[in-house]
């Protein structure tokens, strides 16, 4: 995929409601044959359609996306135990999220059935990772060091101190365009700073699966 087909990185224009507003994770069992790995934007649309809600101004919502088993050709399988949808919401929106149980989503033509839900309090971790982060970059988009510095600026704007590590470069489909981001890991976080990142996220497009951080599996067990 050529960089000429990729739009510049930018935030989604939502007002940042800050890192001091508590969020929780609502996790729903997800069952289906398959879904594309890059499914964030389509998933957002499917959830809005299933609920009959206009979620374009939903500052309180972040969608971590569907967790499944990676297959070849950019697919996730959703036919094994442990496949799930994770939504990050403010506590007063828990009922909104749990009412998705039993709903059927059409995600770019693939059917996903949502099952029972569980609610989890967010707990601090010295290390947090997001599958992909997008943000405004002043400079060469393909220069990972430029991007790392830009992410560092976003982190400092939250009042957070952390060591920023970039992982794989990723391209995310948003509407009819493509956006470049990177996997990002934040190290050496204090408990208070970790919660700020979990609550607020980093960068834009958090309703489309970007900038949503979680503890790596080995630390969250």
Q: How confident is the model at residue 215 (pLDDT cuts 50, 70, 90)?
A: very high
DSSP secondary structure letters along the chain: --GGG-BPP---------TTS--EEEEEEEEEEEEESS-HHHHHHHHHHHHT---TT-TT-EEEEEE-EE-STTEEEE-STT-EEEEEE-GGGHHHHHTTTT-EEEETTEEEEEEEEEEEE----S-EEEEEE----SS-TT-HHHHHHHHHHHHHHTT---EEEEEEEEEEEETTEEEEEEEEEEES--HHHHHHHHHH-SSS-GGGT-S--B--HHHH-
98-146 confidence digits (pLDDT tens):
999 999 999 999 999 999 999 999 999 999 999 999 988 876 667 888 9
Pairing mode of beta strands 177-187, 128-133: antiparallel
Q: How confident is the model at residue 176 (pLDDT cuts 50, 70, 90)?
A: confident
**Average pLDDT of the chain, as a whole number:** 88
In this structure, the chain runs to a length of 221
Task: Write down the pLDDT at residue 15.
Answer: 41
Task: Write down the pLDDT at residue 13.
Answer: 41
Residue 12 reports pLDDT greater than 70: no
Task: Write down the pLDDT at residue 163.
Answer: 97
Q: What is the radius of gyration, based on Cα positions, of the chain? A: 17
Task: Write down the pLDDT at residue 156.
Answer: 94
25-62 confidence digits (pLDDT tens):
999 999 999 999 999 999 999 999 999 888 988 999 99
In the chain, list all ranges with CATH 3.30.70.1210. 128-220
In the chain, list all ranges with CATH 3.30.70.1890. 24-121
- The Cα 135–Cα 133 span in angstroms is 7
What distances in angstroms separate CA 84 from CA 76, 182, 214, one per listed residue? 11, 23, 15
188-207 confidence digits (pLDDT tens):
999 999 999 999 999 989 99
Instruction: For the full predicted model, state whether its pTM sits above 0.85.
Output: yes
Question: Is 24-121 assigned to CATH 3.30.70.1890?
Answer: yes
What distances in angstroms separate CA 44 from CA 5, 102, 124, 154, one per listed residue? 23, 17, 27, 24
Domain at 128-220, CATH from 3.30.365.10, 3.30.70.1210, 3.30.420.40, 1.10.10.10: 3.30.70.1210
Task: Write down the pLDDT at residue 140.
Answer: 67
Task: Write down the pLDDT at residue 137.
Answer: 80
Residue 140: CB partners within 8 Å, gap ≥ 6? 146
Structure token digits, residue 76 = 């996730």
Residue 1 reports pLDDT greater than 80: no
C-beta separation of 179 from 7 below 8 A: yes
């Amino acid at each position: 995929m050529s960089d000429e087909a990729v739009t510049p990185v930018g935030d989604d224009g939502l007002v940042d409601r800050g890192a001091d507003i508590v969020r929780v994770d609502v996790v729903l069992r997800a069952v289906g044959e398959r879904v594309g790995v890059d499914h964030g934007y389509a998933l957002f649309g499917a959830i809005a359609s299933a609920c009959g809600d206009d979620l374009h101004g939903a500052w309180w919502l972040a969608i971590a996306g569907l967790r499944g088993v990676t297959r070849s050709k950019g697919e996730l399988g959703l036919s094994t135990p442990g496949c799930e949808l994770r939504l990050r919401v403010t506590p007063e929106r828990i009922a909104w999220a749990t009412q998705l149980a039993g709903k059927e989503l059409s995600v770019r033509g693939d059917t996903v059935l949502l099952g029972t839900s569980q609610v989890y309090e967010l707990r601090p971790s010295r290390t947090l990772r997001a599958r992909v982060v997008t943000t405004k970059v002043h400079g060469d988009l393909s220069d990972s060091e430029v991007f790392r510095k830009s992410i560092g600026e976003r982190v400092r704007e939250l009042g957070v101190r952390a060591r920023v590590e970039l992982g794989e470069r990723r391209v995310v489909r948003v509407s009819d365009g493509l956006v470049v981001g990177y996997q990002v890991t934040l190290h050496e976080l204090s408990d208070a700073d970790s919660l700020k990142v979990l609550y607020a996220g980093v960068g834009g497009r958090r309703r489309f699966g970007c900038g949503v951080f979680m503890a790596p599996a080995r630390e969250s067990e």
